[in-house]
Structures are given as C-alpha cells and as structure tokens.
Amino acid sequence: MDLTRRSLIGSVALAAGALAALPAFELEEATVADLQKRMTGGALTAHALTERYLEPPSINAGRRSTG
C-alpha cells in the first residue's frame, strides 16, 4: 500500500468505483497536449481519465517510491 501518497491526500473520502479499463498509460507528468492527443486519437476518454484520477491511492501501489 502506498502509505505516503495516502498521507499526502489525507483523510478525504475518495470515490470508489471500478478501475478504468485504461490501457497502460502513465499519468505522471502528462501534459494537457499529451492528454488531448490521446483523447483525439480515441486512445483515452475523459471518463477513463477522470476515473484514473479518482482512484483510491492504495490502488496505485507500486506507482511511486515511498522513500
């Protein structure tokens, strides 16, 4: 579990929900142009992108260093 990211976010009640059926796509450091390019090309939807950002932090385990 990514405790450090959980600590960062705090105690907010994050939305649950099924994980997006999103192909491997690294959100880290993604720019608006990156995201628009993927949405324009049909590889990404606003819904899937939003779902990714709403994911509970524990689901992101392994995405980042915990120091």
List residues binding other proteins (CB under 8 A): 2, 4-5, 7-15, 17, 27-33, 35-36, 39-40, 45-47, 49-51, 53-54, 64-67
Least separation in angstroms between residue 27's CB and other proteins is: 6
Least separation in angstroms between residue 62's CB and other proteins is: 13
Distance CA 36, CA 6 (A): 28
Least separation in angstroms between residue 46's CB and other proteins is: 3
Kindly tell me which of 11 and 23 has the beta carbon lying closer to other proteins: 11
In sequence order, the 6+-apart residues with CB closer than 8 A to the CB of 57 are 2, 5, 6, 9, 14
* CB 26, CB 64: distance < 8 Å: no
Coil, strand, or helix at residue 2? coil
